[in-house]
Structure 1
Amino acid sequence: MCRWLAYSGTPIRLDELLYRPRHSLIDQSLHARLGVETTNGDGFGVGWYVADSMAEPALYRGTGPAWSDANLREIARSTTSPLFLAHVRASTGTPVQQTNCHPFRFQNWLWVHNGSIRDFALLKRDLVLAVDPELYPAMTGSTDSEVMFHLAVTYGLRDRPIAAVQRTAGLIESVGRAHGVPDPLQMTVATTDGDRIWCFRYSSEGRSRSLFYSTGISALRTLHPDREMLRGLSEETRLVVSEPLGELAGAWQPVPESSYGVIQKGDDELSRFEPSMP
């Protein structure tokens, strides 16, 4: 379906993750190992924040394959950020157009999604009508992912992100049941306000798409004391990815089924995710 990554920590150039690792996100756009599709060439996007700022993030999206976009390479090698989301897309049926490429942005929030709403065309009307009318003009594309984002904003993403996504998932499953759609929701999601990152792994069928988080920097330094790249990273540095960017022993931990995590200053959180009715 898609591949994405979320990074928070010591400011780094975007290309350190998008291009340089052996199994970078750009490599995954051509050679995904754990995704439904091997190739994710139906567009891409990256959204990033300026250091020490929670202002509206910058956004660059394109409709071509990420591996061949020269402008993305130029931006990635010259842009430094402490927090960014990136996404390579494999369409589940909606058109390949810029407004359908992730990340989606609303004010200072970004959202990326891998997965789908089953039979979205059948459920779309009911779901869109549940979006706050004041948010409707902000929806410029046609994907299930963008509708999910605006439902989450409707249900309080800016104040209570976890509850908002739980309510979004609950609504989708309720509407799915009403229309006789089995197992309507499949999702791994990352969303951020520029300070914290919330990540979710859930599916109605209980077999969600792959998702991993990086091992703590202190533990990695102990495991790999000779790795120069680890010395310049703060203890707060963390990555969440659809699939590992490399094969460094002990570097990646699977996100448990039906769970959410919060990347934040101090201790991160990992807990169970359960949909709830709005």
Structure 2
Amino acid sequence: MCRWAAYTGAEVFLEDIISTPAHSLIAQSQKAVKCKTATNGDGFGIAWYGRRQEPGLYRDVYPAWSDCNLRALVHQVQSRLFLAHVRASTGSATSRNNCHPFTAGKWSFMHNGQVGGFEKFRRHADMCIPDELYEHRKGATDSEVLFLLALREGLDADPKGALERAVARMEALSRARGCTPHMRLSVAMSDGKTLFAARYSSDSIAPSVYYRWSESMKGWAVVSEPLEDTGEAWNELKPGEFLTLTPKGAETQPFLPVTE
């Protein structure tokens, strides 16, 4: 299982989430505690928003803990909204194109979990991606397909509904052609203005997600694992919930993919 962290709020240095906290994302790449595998060394990535509508993107195949360029970048770059991910592959190759986050236009997307038996129906999943979006299919992961299907389903107009429909389609493919667990998912995604997250599973094991307001940073963090214990309580996103984070606050709604 992968680990990820995202932030929205006042402009901060990326290191305030990625490398500085006691249990930062880089620390989690070696010593994760809320998943089966403690090591997440199959690459990393960051998508951050600045003055342009489209996010910047930096990804590589090195373990996050061993890349000095990553530490130098997060020490200097500031952003009001960013997504960061350390990868533990569930089967696809370790390559830059398979590292999260994925981007298309103004949208960025990252995922932790799996779609059971994806390698058995990858061609069928790819065929669900419309021609106008297929140019964004760079890698071989189930996560990238899920992102492109959500775009197909209308992320701009209905982020929650679009993701629900995309997850339902992928889960249905897994039930028809794959194997269990059909869907385990924690997702963070953004259009550059709002940060969204979701937690869901077709069984009883949903990847962990936590969020909180940081008074020191004046912003929201949403993470796979708490970054540190500073006395500020972390809220756990419950399985089957969708989270919307804006400067006005946090809103949770039921997240209910409907499969046939």
Matched AA of 1:160: D
Instruction: Give 1:126's aligned residue.
Output: 124
Matched, 1:68 2:50: no
Say what the alpha-carbon RMSD is for the aligned residues.
1.5
Map 1:146-157 → 2, pairs under 5 A:
146-157=144-155
How has the CA–CA distance of structure 1 residues 31 and 180 changed in structure 2, closer, same or farther, with 3 Å as cutoff? Answer: closer
Aligned partner of residue 146 in structure 2, secondary structure: helix
Aligned to 1:203: 201
CA deviation vs aligned residue, 1:130-184 (integer Å, no higher than 9, x gap): 1111111210100111111111111111221111110011112222222263441
Q: 1:176 to 1:24 in 2, by over 3 A?
A: same
Distance 1:272 1:245 in 2: 26
**Partner secondary structure for residue 160 of structure 2:** helix
Q: How many Å apart are 1:127 and its aligned residue?
A: 1.5
Amino acid at match of 1:99: N
- 2:253 matched residue in structure 1: 271
Aligned to 1:9: 9
Secondary structure of the structure 1 residue equivalent to 2:33: coil
TM-score by length of 1: 0.90
Conservation of the 8 A alpha-carbon contact between 1:48 and 1:85 = yes
Q: Which residue of 1 aligns with 2:243?
A: 261
Could you tell me whether the CA contact under 8 Å between 1:87 and 1:102 is conserved in 2?
A: yes
Q: Counterpart of 1:162 in 2: which secondary structure?
A: helix
CA distance in 2, matches of 1:129, 1:60: 28
User: AA paired with 1:35?
Assistant: C
Q: Following TM superposition, by how much is the alpha carbon of 1:206 offset from its aligned partner in structure 2, in angstroms?
A: 3.1
More deviation in 178-187 or 251-260?
Answer: 178-187
1:242 aligns with 2:224: yes
TM-score using structure 2 length: 0.96
Unaligned 5+ segments in structure 2 are none
| Structure 1: gaps of 5 or more residues | 218-229
> 1:163 matched to which residue of 2?
161
Aligned CA distance change for structure 1 residues 180 and 142 (closer, same or farther; 3 Å): closer
Do 1:2 and 1:40's aligned partners in 2 also have CA atoms closer than 8 Å? yes
Structure 1: how far apart are the matches of 2:237 and 2:250?
13
Q: How far has the Cα of 1:211 moved from its partner? A: 0.8
Which residue identity does 2:223 align to in structure 1? Answer: V
Structure-2 residue corresponding to 1:221:
none
Secondary structure at the aligned position of 2:135 is classed as helix
Q: Say whether 1:44 aligns with 2:26.
A: no
Q: Could you tell me whether the CA contact under 8 Å between 1:54 and 1:193 is conserved in 2?
A: no
Contact 2:42 2:94 in 1 (8 A): yes
Task: Give the match's secondary structure for 1:87.
Answer: strand
Question: Where in structure 2 are the equivalents of 1:22-101 lying within 5 Å?
Answer: 22-50=22-50, 53=51, 55-101=53-99
Q: Distance in 1 between matches of 2:176 and 2:56?
A: 39
Task: For residues 184-221 of structure 1, give each alpha carbon's deviation from its aligned partner in whole angstroms, at most 9, with x where no partner exists.
Answer: 1111000000100110000110320111011463xxxx
Q: Is the 8 A contact 2:5 2:223 kept in 1?
A: yes
SS in 2 for 1:138: coil
Measure the CA separation in 2 of the matches of 1:193 and 1:105.
10
Q: Distance in 2 between matches of 1:182 and 1:60?
A: 33
| Of 176-185 and 57-66, the range deviating more from structure 2 | 176-185
| Bigger Rg over Cα | 1
| Amino acid of the structure 2 residue aligned with 1:274 | L
Instruction: Name the SS of the counterpart of 2:132 in structure 1.
Output: coil
Contact preservation (8 Å) 2:171, 2:259? no
Moved more, 122-131 or 79-88: 122-131
**CA distance 1:95–1:180, change in 2 (3 Å):** closer
After TM superposition, give the deviation of residue 276 of structure 1 in Å.
Answer: 3.0
Deviations, residues 32-76 of structure 1 (Å, cap 9, x unaligned): 0112210000000011011xx461111110101011111111111
